[in-house]
Amino acid sequence: MTGAAPSPNASGDLPAAVRQALAVAEPVGGARAGLTSDLTIDETLILHSVAWAPRDLVVGLSVQSVPSSIWSWGSGEIELASRAHARAFAHAVARLHAEAVAVGAHGVVGVHVERRILASHIEVELVGTAVAPADAPRIPDGQVFVSDLSARDFALLLAGGWRPVALAVGASFTYAPRRAVGAALRQQTQNVELTNYTAALYDARSTAMERMQRAALDAHGAGIVDVTVTEGPLRFAAHAIGFTAWGTVVVPASSSQTIDPLTVVSLDDAVNAFDVAPLA
């Protein structure tokens, strides 16, 4: 638990090596000196089709330490872990955002979320491609969005009359309750719901989702799409369970939100090779 975290808002927070790499990528005399992107050719073309272009590959990373003693005993929520996770995410997003601002992007798409939750620290690593409409001027920093939608989904979202505004994240870590030995023995042969477990997990999951929602409301979003809910026991602490929910916050961008889907039948798949395996 570091008390004073580095202020992640200013681009002055970026390591010197990062700033150097960005300086190379920044436009020199109107021409672009270099461009890195992890988009596929298809995705780049799709972006061009909605008049956007990739600017640069951007990264945000944050590691928060947690006392390793917090995982094993207790009841209810493991608040230190939940807070450390929230802070790790917030800092990583802020750094990603700062890098995007530095290259004059309007947003970041295709953000890959890599997390490592270990007994001693929580690590969040985000990698995405900064994008901007072709030849568009810079926009205020606050309007630069971060989204985990792929370039494909991003183009589709724009075509459907919506735009992404932010990445909303919520997490909750909780101790699994323990069952009294007597109760466990009594219930050995019965079909019963374990109400205390159910309530604890239900609560933790709802809390994670609620935090994500609050982040979306703070970003003045109309909704969250493509929500990923991950959960599960932590490998190093059998009695602790982590729930995380994240998704892209969207707002309507135009008055009409219609797409006109065309139904197609693909004529691929023609070859169904019949494979005769030798009989064992």
Of 149, 165, 169, 171, which lies in the binding site for another protein, with binding defined by CB under 8 A? 149
Structural contact between residues 105 and 131, judged by C-beta atoms closer than 8 angstroms: yes
Q: What are phi and psi of 124, to 5 degrees?
A: -125, 130
- What is the C-alpha to C-alpha distance for residues 164 and 145, in angstroms, rounded to an integer? 7
> 104 or 242: whose CB is closer to another protein?
242
Binding segment for another protein (CB under 8 A), chosen from 2-10, 43-51, 106-114, 199-207, is: 199-207
Rounded to 10°, the helix 151-159/41-49 angle is 20
> Which residue of 37, 151, 153, 166 would you call a contact of another protein, by CB under 8 A?
153
Based on the shown chain and the rule CB under 8 A, indicate whether residue 133 belongs to the binding site for another protein.
no
Closer residue to another protein, CB minimum distance, 13 or 203: 203
Is 192 a binding residue for another protein by CB under 8 A? The answer is yes
119, burial (CB in 10 Å: exposed 0-12, middle 13-18, buried 19+) = middle
Cα dihedral sign for 131, 133, 139, 143?
negative
Amino acid identity, residue 155? A
* Rounded least distance, CB 116 to another protein, Å: 20
Min CB(209)–another protein separation in Å: 6
**Nearer to another protein by C-beta: 28 or 259?**
259
Is residue 43 part of the contact set for another protein (CB under 8 A)?
A: no
CA 162 – CA 107 distance, rounded (Å): 14
CB of 51 to another protein, least distance (A): 18
Q: State the nearest-atom distance from the C-beta of 144 to another protein, in Å.
A: 20
User: With respect to another protein, which residue has the nearer C-beta, 37 or 213?
Assistant: 213
Look at the alpha carbons of 194, 200, 203, 209 in this order and tell me if their dihedral is positive or negative: negative
What single-letter amino acid sits at 192? V
Select 17 or 265, whichever has its Cβ closest to another protein. 265
CB nearer another protein, residue 1 or residue 222 = 222
Q: Does 107 bind another protein (CB under 8 A)?
A: no
60: left (phi over 0), alpha (psi -120 to 50) or beta: beta
Is residue 58 within the footprint of another protein (CB under 8 A)? no
CA distance 121 to 36: 30
Neighbours of 257 (CB within 10 A): 10
Site residues, another protein (CB under 8 A): 149, 153-154, 156-157, 160, 176, 178-179, 187-195, 197-199, 201-207, 209-210, 212-214, 216-217, 221-229, 231-233, 238-239, 241, 247, 257-268
